[in-house]
Amino acid sequence: MGSPGLSNRNNGQQQRLGITEPISLGGPTEYDVIKTRELEKYLQDAGLYENQEEAVSREEVLGRLDQIVKIWVKTISRAKGLNDQLVQEANAKIFTFGSYRLGVHGPGADIDTLCVAPRHVSREEDFFGELHRMLSEMPEVTELHPVPDAHVPVMGFKFNGVSIDLLYARLSLWVIPEDLDISQESILQNADEQTVRSLNGCRVTDQILRLVPNIQNFRTTLRCMRFWAKRRGVYSNVSGFLGGINWALLVARICQLFPNALPNMLVSRFFRVYTQWRWPNPVLLCAIEEGSLGLQVWDPRRYPKDRFHLMPIITPAYPCMNSSYNVSSSTLRIMTEEFQRGNEICEAMEANNANWDALFEPYPFFEAYKNYLQIDVSAENADDLRKWKGWVESRLRHLTLKIERHTYGMLQCHPHPGDFSDKSKPFHCSYFMGLQRKQGVPVNEGEQFDIRHTVEEFKHSVNMYTLWKPGMAIQVSHVKRRSIPNFVFPGGIRPSRPTKATWDSKRSSELRDSGHGQAEKSQEGQAVALREADERKRKRAEDSIDNLRTSKSFASLPPSSGDVHDDSRNPVSIASSCSMKCDESEVNSVNEKPDLKSLTGSPSRHGETNGSASIQQVNHMLTGTNTCNSKEAENLAIEKIISGPYDTHQALPEEPDELEDDVEYRNQFKNLGGNINKSNLDSSHSELAVVGEPVITEKETSCSNHLFPNESLEELEPAELTAPFISSTAAPLPQRKPLIRLNFTSLGKAADKSS
């Protein structure tokens, strides 16, 4: 199936999609054709495609649902006294988005749907009232679960066995036409926040499909990357990794950069590009437009919260926003390592030294670490467990953030994106986090991380759940690798040491055989050099921000050139996209709105040529060449895109616990001044002083209200909420005492004692 991007031609030329020129316009080789067929067969054999019967069933369900909402809106219109003509014209429509709309859904997947209705049909009384009642009386509807208080209100249910997530958008129109185009900006006119959020999924999905050059190649590549991410344990937005929309945006950008490539090449280039990407430079499919409705868009210059985002992946539909705000430093590190691994395997495949099996090897989570946190969640019945489990899962990333911040990043967390159930315990499930000391940091004898206070803070915040019921409990404990419960393994049987060599085990063996002691020494030297370079860049960024603080104005932003130019590994604030020096001849008032188009383009800096022009020069080298120099030229083009003269924001060193409110649980906190169920708090006994690699000593602690003296949950220090360059003087950040205990016992003795 072709994309509109390919059919639209201007003077015989293919229309350019994206904010830069493509890296390569080269078409597929015979090797690409063969490997793409292998990949498609691999995905087919993996069961990623639904059969024809299920596809027909989904279409029938969507058709039936569309009929139901049309009957519903006419019923509401008649009940509210509208005349016969308006009742006759009353209409509602069902739209799809997410994986189903993108065409990458698998068997049994949910269908994300949106119901659009006219202005006189309310969300609370009519959608969650009358429509809910109608659905509850239908025998084909089961597991009906409304969540009206969510950040994006949703009604979940199964219709003839097909899982549906139904959102609602109330437009300002009196009549909803059958040919309604929700991609138009005017559709958001006078819409409330919940409607804007609900419409966003459909608008973003449709825009992605418009911005890729070949939809079929995009779909196959996205299926591959989604499958890979799930196998490697990095597919979960709620856990701090990336969700479906994030992976779709990343793949779409690669399709723009290699518009004529087949999925085999697109997968390879995905890893090559994002291995080199210099976060927090944003990934953009199109220019960020301010729009005419005054809705907030992602802009770290104006909104301090946006500066905390470590891996910005910006949605292409107005209002543009960061879709990956949940990513933490730990999860970013894990994904970066996985990108590097994928790149190595793809290069090995090109040399005929690896295959698709190596790329899709499952991540051995319970073999990767020596120490884990186990979070046990329980309730009195299945419905309570589903609600309680969803709430706890939405807060787990905050435990990761707290541990990172309270140990100054020295203790790294790796959350497992799924949960595990112990069948011997009814209404119970467990989550796990791998723990390790930051790599490359010297280990002091007897050094100990004390995270008991951190864990109690986390449990205290979790127990603020407004829908809490007796029986809902959470317990956090430390387990060693050898003590991981058997129920996490397939069939409840702990596997013996793997007999089949994996890609990772082969790589480890090769390092040992080649004398990896020298390699480690070299890597340590490189790590030191990188840290020194990063420190110098950080200081330059801080100096630049200091200059902006003391200045009464900041540099004006030039008009867009239509191209993105990403800067250094640790980029600085985008207050000026051409230079961090505030030229007195190019200043605007601080109160003036900066030009958002500068996010996607700027003049050259320090005498460099325009990045887009450079890419065109590189394309000349890439097209028509089949030598080893083509890879070097391609890497040069990638470097131009990810490190051109584009100064983006500097992610601040400390992240707030509340980066964003979670989709389903925005308003589900209790006021800390209210009653807290003491038995629930006291039931979670742990533990937790982390030693050495780390090792966690088990000691019972209790949670008390003195953790929050100001009676406000996760309250940030005022300085953390202040824009770095808005005020003329910088407010000092309060220094916390690190939660690190030191003793003089040997690391081995400390480990033995705690175990």
Do the beta carbons of residue 369 and residue 436 sit within 8 Å? yes
Residues 198 and 229 reside in one and the same domain: no
Q: Is the pLDDT of residue 532 over 90?
A: no
pLDDT in tens, 647-675: 445 555 444 444 444 444 444 544 433 33
Q: Is the pLDDT of residue 402 over 80?
A: yes
pLDDT in tens, 232-283: 999 999 999 999 999 999 999 999 999 999 999 999 999 999 999 999 999 9
> Residue 168 forms beta bridges with which residues?
115
Q: How many domains does the chain have?
A: 3
Phi-psi sector, 185: left (phi>0), alpha (psi -120 to 50), beta:
alpha
Cα 124 from Cα 168, distance rounded (Å): 10
Task: Tell me, yes or no, whether 749 lies in a domain.
Answer: no
191 three-state secondary structure: coil
pLDDT score, position 331: 95
Residues 108 and 31 reside in one and the same domain: no
Q: Of 348, 363, 378, which one is at a domain's C-terminal end?
A: 363
Task: Tell me, yes or no, whether 664 lies in a domain.
Answer: no
Give the confidence band of 545 by pLDDT, cuts at 50, 70, 90: very low
CATH of the domain at 152: 3.30.460.10
Task: Tell me, yes or no, whether 717 lies in a domain.
Answer: no
Closest Cα to residue 453, out of 670, 689, 673? 689
pLDDT score, position 575: 30
Q: What is the DSSP letter of 119?
A: T
Q: Of 162, 179, 211, which one is at a domain's C-terminal end?
A: 211
pLDDT in tens, 561-606: 333 333 333 333 333 233 333 333 333 333 333 344 444 443 333 3
Cβ neighbors of 21 (< 8 A, separation 6 or more) are 563, 612, 615, 616, 619
pLDDT score, position 699: 36
pLDDT in tens, 605-615: 333 334 444 44
Cα 595 from Cα 288, distance rounded (Å): 10
Do the beta carbons of residue 223 and residue 102 sit within 8 Å? no
Full residue range of the structural domain in which residue 291 is found:
16-46+215-363
Q: Beta 428-437 vs 371-378: how paired, if at all?
A: antiparallel
> Residue 170 forms beta bridges with which residues?
117
Count Cβ atoms below 10 Å from residue 79 Cβ, excluding itself: 11
Residues 102 and 174 reside in one and the same domain: yes
Residues 77 and 109 reside in one and the same domain: yes
Tokens of 572: 């600085």
Task: Tell me, yes or no, whether 726 lies in a domain.
Answer: no
Task: Tell me, yes or no, whether 638 lies in a domain.
Answer: no
Residues 249 and 293 reside in one and the same domain: yes
pLDDT score, position 137: 97
Using the structure block, give the residue that is written with the tokens 């596809």: 55
> What is the CA 401 to chain-centroid distance, rounded?
15
pLDDT score, position 439: 83
Residues 207 and 118 reside in one and the same domain: yes
Cα 388 from Cα 639, distance rounded (Å): 46
At 249, give phi and psi (nearest 5°): -65, -40
Cα 122 from Cα 688, distance rounded (Å): 49
pLDDT in tens, 109-151: 999 999 999 999 999 999 999 999 999 999 999 999 898 988 8
Task: Tell me, yes or no, whether 566 lies in a domain.
Answer: no
Task: Tell me, yes or no, whether 301 lies in a domain.
Answer: yes
pLDDT in tens, 692-741: 444 444 333 333 333 333 333 222 222 222 233 333 333 333 344 333 33
Cα 584 from Cα 576, distance rounded (Å): 13
Cβ neighbors of 435 (< 8 A, separation 6 or more) are 369, 371, 372, 373, 411, 412, 413, 414, 690, 694, 696
pLDDT score, position 726: 30
pLDDT score, position 50: 95
At 130, give phi and psi (nearest 5°): -65, -45
Do the beta carbons of residue 566 and residue 284 sit within 8 Å? no
Q: What is the mean pLDDT of residues 378-407?
A: 92
Q: Is the pLDDT of residue 31 over 90?
A: yes
Give the confidence band of 502 by pLDDT, cuts at 50, 70, 90: confident
Amino acid present at 260: N
Give the confidence band of 364 by pLDDT, cuts at 50, 70, 90: very high
Task: Tell me, yes or no, whether 562 lies in a domain.
Answer: no
Which pTM value belongs to this model?
0.74
Closest Cα to residue 229, out of 244, 218, 215? 244
Tokens of 657: 């616990």
Residue 230 buriedness (CB in 10 A; 0-12 / 13-18 / 19+)? middle
Using the structure block, give the residue that is written with the tokens 């988005």: 97
Q: Is the pLDDT of residue 361 over 50?
A: yes
Q: Provide the greatest CA pair distance for the chain.
A: 85
pLDDT in tens, 186-235: 999 999 999 999 999 999 999 999 999 999 999 999 999 999 999 999 99
Q: What is the mean pLDDT of residues 42-59?
A: 96
* Helix runs in 380-501, H state only: 382-406, 452-462
15-34 burial string, b = 16+ CB within 10 Å, else e? ebbbbbbbbbebebeeebee
Based on its alpha-carbon atoms, the radius of gyration of the chain, rounded to whole angstroms, reads: 27
Amino acid present at 183: S
CATH of the domain at 23: 1.10.1410.10
